[in-house]
């Protein structure tokens, strides 16, 4: 490991326990005149959204006013996600109602992107909706480095990731796409970014001024693109990461992870080309193909995965007008 | 008009009138206690290993500005919300221990009108009510004259024999006007007496030289079931009311191996202390007889025993509690307690146990509390505290 990498790890890797004094964080936030928005993107999350809204809102808005605004941005849930979230006091928005003039695309990245327009905060913290062991540390652990260190622009979460099976929790085994796909790719093309322990974690906080400057893939590639684009613009020093201990989440099938990897690769190769790391790009297929076997008959399944991207929010007229 | 000029009846009437608006306020402020119920409930807290959960309760006591937040030698967390006069205290307590061990996944789910998860009813929501009281009273603009002594006690369930609450009350030398034990469920529960009870464990072991050819030879499971049959022959009187429950039997490890040891746990509860003593003697004698006749080692161990205690049905504390419950739309169901209320009454203080809300699947992993009844359940608790504070519950 090079000296620079070690220095970054030493200086920019935190543990949430360092920020236990939330009251102090609130004071520092107010002193700097910062506003913090919390966004949970959802699609059919009625089982976990109630607890997330209840705990985060009451601990980080009522007890300690660290978060100034709390929104659930939904992709059109057909279950009770919106009812439950609203019941516990979150501001609830349909992504399709935000900036309607730019249309509606389906994907988590769309919700994250539209949150930049909808929310007012100087810092936006994104937390996935499927965390069954939600705790305030999932927010204060991420926004604290941004409050404390002006040079940090983007903070990623990392954690132990036991998988939730019907038979109980199974240790580790999470982060398969990270270990099999992302880490080898970063090692090949962006070795400094391998210092980010969990590049695909769905929990991160960032300053508005950097979020509005980068494009957002609407699907699987959004986390990867953030890292690549911000690294290109600001270098590793703009990043920090916080250990949030344990995060219990749903297990995904290998097939689902394959589809996810297919989407991420599209995003990745597009950036390799855009950043001049590879000269020529062939036309890439948009069908992810895999096999299913039934009664000794092999069937190929093809699913279309197109990683559409939203442009940097700053380029959207409605957003610029809002700021004016 | 002050209390000095009001009759007790008028003072109570005034409190009762506030109950509907209190219920609404408690609904609006539900995050104050629901969040703590989830955070506390997700920390495993089996009896004797309540430390982590109690630690969070203590942190909350500190954050909510209680005086003297403390963990005592029994592991109980307590703190004081000072009253304007502070000449005596009102003790409000909830037990921290749960029947679920750390191997059970302690994840709670929150829906619009329910919370589900192991131990939410017994007793995470009860604890959360205690922990949230200072903030709630502050939000509601309620200032008490008495000190409010809040206690999250350990070692309440099973073999613990109320060690936590007994220890606290034996060592905490404060004038206590009355005590309230808070249980998550079942709403309507009203206990003002502690039931005499004995919790026993029968350990049955086959000796090393056990003669498998002897007439009647069998493994531990067969012997335990025969013994249960014999114990069930002991007459259980209807008066005084008495009950015997076989709560746990444990033996064996496979399909086809006769186990050499087994354990049976049971409880005898009765309104008559003599009955408990007599049945204890009878069970002991049966064990001895069984041991002699079979060549097994059969021993009964008393893991917990307590005497009957209580305050009368006509005690003003009970009467006022019933009135408050009725006004809150709660139907009282009188049920003697085998829990921490015994410690309060045996320490010489009047006390009651209340249940906050309705629950399903008690002591199952999918234990569930309903939220809608909880608001009136909380209102009964706060109104009772106020009534005690106004001196409306004294002889």
DSSP characters for B7-44? -HHHHHHHHHHTHHHHHHHHHHTTHHHHHHHHHHHTS-
Phi, psi of A269 (to 5 degrees): -65, -35
Q: Which long-range contacts (CB under 8 A, 24 or more apart) does A145-151 make?
A: A145/A12, A145/A14, A145/A240, A145/A242, A146/A34, A146/A205, A146/A206, A146/A207, A146/A240, A147/A25, A147/A28, A147/A29, A147/A32, A147/A34, A147/A123, A148/A28, A149/A240, A151/A237, A151/A238
| pLDDT, mean of residues A293-319 | 91
Domain that holds residue B103: 8-194+308-389
**Sign of the torsion angle spanned by Cα atoms B228, B231, B236, B242:** negative
CB contact under 8 Å between B109 and A83, yes or no, is: no
Residues B178, B277 within the same domain:
no
CB-based burial label for A274 (10 Å; 0-12, 13-18, 19+): middle
B104 touches chain A (CB under 8 A): no
Taking contacts as CB-CB distances below 8 angstroms, the residues of chain A near B365 are none
Residues B323, B216 within the same domain:
no
Q: How many domains would you assign to chain B?
A: 2
pLDDT at A174: 45
B107 touches chain A (CB under 8 A): yes
Residue B385 maps to a domain: yes
CB contact under 8 Å between B38 and A46, yes or no, is: no
Q: Which of B306, B328, B347 is the last residue of a domain?
A: B306
CB contact under 8 Å between B35 and A58, yes or no, is: yes
pLDDT at B6: 62
- Mean pLDDT for all residues in chain B: 94
Residues B145, B216 within the same domain:
no
In this structure, what token pair is assigned to residue A245? 């201990």
| pLDDT, mean of residues B122-143 | 97
Taking contacts as CB-CB distances below 8 angstroms, the residues of chain B near A247 are none
CB contact under 8 Å between A46 and B111, yes or no, is: yes
Domain at B362, CATH number: 3.40.630.10
Task: Tell me the pTM.
Answer: 0.86
Residue B237 maps to a domain: yes
Taking contacts as CB-CB distances below 8 angstroms, the residues of chain A near B34 are 54, 58
Residue B2 maps to a domain: no
How many angstroms separate the CA of residue B107 from the nearest CA in chain A? Answer: 7
Rg (Cα) of chain A, in Å, rounded?
Answer: 19
- Find the length of chain B: 395
| pLDDT, mean of residues B26-55 | 96
Condensed to tens digits (0 to 9), the pLDDT of residues A68-90 reads 999 999 999 999 999 999 999 99
pLDDT at A159: 85
Q: How many domains would you assign to chain A?
A: 1
| pLDDT, mean of residues B340-352 | 94
CB-based burial label for A35 (10 Å; 0-12, 13-18, 19+): middle
d(C-alpha B163, C-alpha B93), whole Å: 14
- Mean pLDDT for all residues in chain A: 91
Residues B181, B206 within the same domain:
no
Phi, psi of A162 (to 5 degrees): -65, 145
pLDDT at A248: 74
pLDDT greater at residue B51 or residue B212: B51
Q: Which of A244-248, B183-187, B350-354 has the lowest mean pLDDT?
A: A244-248
Selected residue of B40, B63, B107, B372 to mutate for chain A interface (largest A Cβ count, 10 A): B107
Residue B394 maps to a domain: no
Residues B201, B190 within the same domain:
no
Residues B182, B203 within the same domain:
no
Q: Which of B290, B306, B322 is the last residue of a domain?
A: B306
Condensed to tens digits (0 to 9), the pLDDT of residues B353-365 reads 999 999 999 999 9
Q: pLDDT band at B216, cuts 50/70/90? A: confident
Residues B285, B349 within the same domain:
no
Residues B274, B377 within the same domain:
no
DSSP structure class, residue B124: I
In this structure, what token pair is assigned to residue A321? 């007008």
Q: Look at residue A168 and tell me whether its pLDDT is greater than 70.
A: no
Residues 6+ apart with CB under 8 A from A318: A99, A101, A102, A117
Q: Look at residue A55 and tell me whether its pLDDT is greater than 90.
A: yes
The share of chain A scoring above pLDDT 90, in percent, equals: 73
List Cα–Cα distances, B170 to B32, B164, B195, B347, in angstroms. 32, 10, 20, 7
- Strands, E assignment, A130-212: 154-160, 162-165, 168-173, 204-207
- ipTM comes to 0.83
| pLDDT, mean of residues A231-255 | 88
Q: Which of A22-36, B120-134, B296-310, B364-378 has the lowest mean pLDDT?
A: B296-310
pLDDT at A283: 85
d(C-alpha B175, C-alpha A265), whole Å: 71
CB contact under 8 Å between B42 and A46, yes or no, is: no
A138 touches chain B (CB under 8 A): no
Residues B98, B171 within the same domain:
yes
SS3 label, residue A148: helix
Q: Look at residue A169 and tell me whether its pLDDT is greater than 60.
A: no
CB contact under 8 Å between B31 and A57, yes or no, is: yes
Do you find a cis peptide bond into B240, omega within 30 degrees of 0? yes
Which among A88, A135, A169 has the least Cβ separation from residue B105? A169
Interface A-B: count of C-beta contacts within 8 A: 45
Q: Look at residue A118 and tell me whether its pLDDT is greater than 70.
A: yes
CB contact under 8 Å between A88 and B32, yes or no, is: no
8 Å CB contact between A268 and A312:
no
Residues 6+ apart with CB under 8 A from B207: B295, B296, B297
8 Å CB contact between B23 and B372:
no
How many angstroms separate the CA of residue A104 from the nearest CA in chain B? Answer: 29
Strand B359-360 relative to strand A13-15: parallel, antiparallel, unpaired?
A: unpaired
Residues B182, B239 within the same domain:
no
CB contact under 8 Å between B35 and A48, yes or no, is: no
Which among A48, A58, A248 has the least Cβ separation from residue B31? A58
A89 touches chain B (CB under 8 A): yes
Condensed to tens digits (0 to 9), the pLDDT of residues B160-208 reads 889 999 999 999 878 999 999 999 999 999 999 998 999 999 999 999 8
Residue B89 maps to a domain: yes
pLDDT at A172: 43
B32 touches chain A (CB under 8 A): yes
Residue B248 maps to a domain: yes
Q: Look at residue A164 and tell me whether its pLDDT is greater than 60.
A: no
Residues B312, B163 within the same domain:
yes
d(C-alpha A323, C-alpha B186), whole Å: 54
CB contact under 8 Å between B31 and A51, yes or no, is: no
Q: Look at residue A209 and tell me whether its pLDDT is greater than 80.
A: yes
Which among A62, A80, A83 has the least Cβ separation from residue B31? A62
pLDDT at A173: 41
B366 touches chain A (CB under 8 A): no
Q: Look at residue B68 and tell me whether its pLDDT is greater than 80.
A: yes
Q: Which of B272, B306, B340 is the last residue of a domain?
A: B306
Q: Look at residue B236 and tell me whether its pLDDT is greater than 90.
A: yes
Q: Look at residue B50 and tell me whether its pLDDT is greater than 50.
A: yes
Domain at A33, CATH number: 3.90.550.10
Residues B207, B260 within the same domain:
yes
The share of chain B scoring above pLDDT 90, in percent, equals: 87
B59 touches chain A (CB under 8 A): no
Selected residue of A24, A47, A50 to mutate for chain B interface (largest B Cβ count, 10 A): A50
The strand pairing partners of B300, in sequence order, are: B202
CB contact under 8 Å between A54 and B35, yes or no, is: yes
Residue B395 maps to a domain: no
Spatial CA neighbour of B123 closest among B61, B75, B54, B188? B54
Domain at B224, CATH number: 3.30.70.360
Domain that holds residue A229: 3-323
Residue B136 maps to a domain: yes
């Amino acid at each position: 490991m090079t000296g620079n990498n070690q220095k970054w790890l030493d200086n920019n890797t935190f543990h949430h326990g360092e920020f236990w004094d939330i009251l102090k964080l609130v004071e520092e936030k107010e002193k700097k005149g910062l506003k913090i928005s919390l966004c949970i993107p959802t699609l059919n999350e009625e089982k976990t959204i109630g607890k997330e809204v209840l705990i985060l809102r009451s601990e980080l808005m009522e007890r300690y006013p660290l978060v100034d605004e709390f929104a659930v941005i939904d992709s059109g849930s057909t279950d009770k996600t919106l009812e439950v979230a609203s019941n516990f006091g979150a501001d609830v928005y349909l992504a399709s109602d935000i900036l309607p003039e730019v249309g509606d695309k389906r994907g988590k990245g769309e919700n994250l992107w539209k949150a930049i327009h909808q929310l007012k905060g100087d810092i936006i913290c994104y937390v996935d909706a499927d965390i069954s062991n939600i705790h305030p540390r999932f927010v204060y652990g991420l926004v604290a480095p941004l409050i404390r260190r002006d040079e940090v622009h983007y903070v990623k979460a990392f954690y132990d990731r036991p998988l939730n099976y019907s038979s109980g929790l199974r240790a580790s085994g999470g982060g398969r796409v990270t270990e099999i796909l992302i880490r080898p790719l970063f090692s090949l093309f962006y070795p400094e970014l391998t210092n980010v322990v969990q590049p695909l974690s769905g929990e991160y906080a960032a300053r508005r001024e950097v979020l509005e400057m980068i494009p957002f893939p609407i699907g699987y590639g959004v986390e990867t693109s953030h890292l690549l684009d911000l690294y290109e613009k600001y270098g590793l020093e703009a990043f920090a990461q916080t250990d949030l201990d344990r995060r219990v989440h749903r297990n995904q099938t290998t097939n689902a992870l394959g589809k996810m990897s297919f989407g991420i690769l599209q995003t990745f190769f597009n950036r390799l080309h855009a950043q001049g790391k590879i000269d020529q790009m062939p036309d890439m297929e948009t069908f992810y193909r895999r096999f299913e076997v039934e009664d000794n008959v092999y069937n190929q399944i093809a699913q279309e995965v197109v990683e559409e991207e939203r442009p940097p929010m700053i380029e959207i007229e409605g957003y610029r007008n809002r700021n004016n | 008009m002050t209390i000095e000029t009001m009759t007790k009846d008028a003072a109570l009437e005034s409190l009762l009138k506030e109950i509907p608006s209190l219920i609404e306020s408690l609904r609006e402020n539900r995050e104050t206690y629901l969040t703590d119920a989830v955070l506390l409930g997700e920390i495993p807290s089996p009896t004797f290993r309540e430390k982590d959960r109690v630690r969070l309760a203590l942190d909350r006591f500190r954050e909510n500005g209680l005086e003297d937040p403390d963990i005592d030698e029994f592991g109980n967390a307590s703190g004081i919300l000072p009253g304007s006069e502070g000449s005596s205290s009102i003790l409000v307590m909830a037990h921290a221990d749960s029947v679920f061990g750390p191997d059970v996944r302690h994840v709670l789910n929150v829906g619009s009108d329910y919370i589900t998860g192991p131990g939410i009813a017994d007793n995470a929501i009860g604890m959360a009510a205690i922990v949230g009281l200072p903030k709630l009273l502050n939000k509601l603009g309620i200032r008490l004259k008495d000190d409010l002594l809040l206690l999250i006690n350990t070692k309440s369930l099973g073999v613990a024999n109320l060690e936590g609450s007994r220890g606290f009350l034996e060592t905490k030398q404060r004038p206590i006007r009355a005590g309230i034990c808070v249980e998550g469920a079942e709403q309507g529960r009203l206990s003002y007496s502690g039931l005499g009870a004995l919790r026993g464990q029968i350990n049955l072991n086959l000796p090393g030289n056990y003669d498998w050819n002897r007439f009647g030879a069998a493994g531990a499971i067969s012997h335990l079931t025969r013994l249960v049959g014999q114990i069930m022959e002991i007459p259980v009187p209807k008066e005084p009311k008495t009950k015997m429950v076989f709560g746990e039997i444990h033996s064996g490890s496979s399909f086809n191996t006769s186990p050499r040891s087994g354990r049976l746990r049971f409880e005898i509860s009765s309104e008559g202390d003599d009955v408990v003593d007599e049945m204890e003697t009878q069970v002991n004698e049966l064990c001895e007889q069984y041991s002699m006749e079979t060549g097994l080692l059969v021993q009964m161990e008393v893991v917990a025993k307590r005497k009957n205690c209580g305050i009368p049905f006509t005690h003003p504390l009970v009467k006022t509690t019933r009135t408050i419950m009725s006004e809150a739309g709660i139907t009282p169901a009188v049920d003697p307690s085998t829990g921490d209320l015994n410690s309060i009454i045996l320490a010489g203080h009047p006390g009651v146990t209340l249940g906050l809300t309705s629950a399903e699947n008690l002591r199952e992993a999918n234990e569930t509390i309903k939220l809608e009844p909880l608001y009136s359940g909380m209102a009964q608790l706060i109104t009772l505290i106020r009534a005690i504070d106004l001196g409306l519950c004294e002889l």
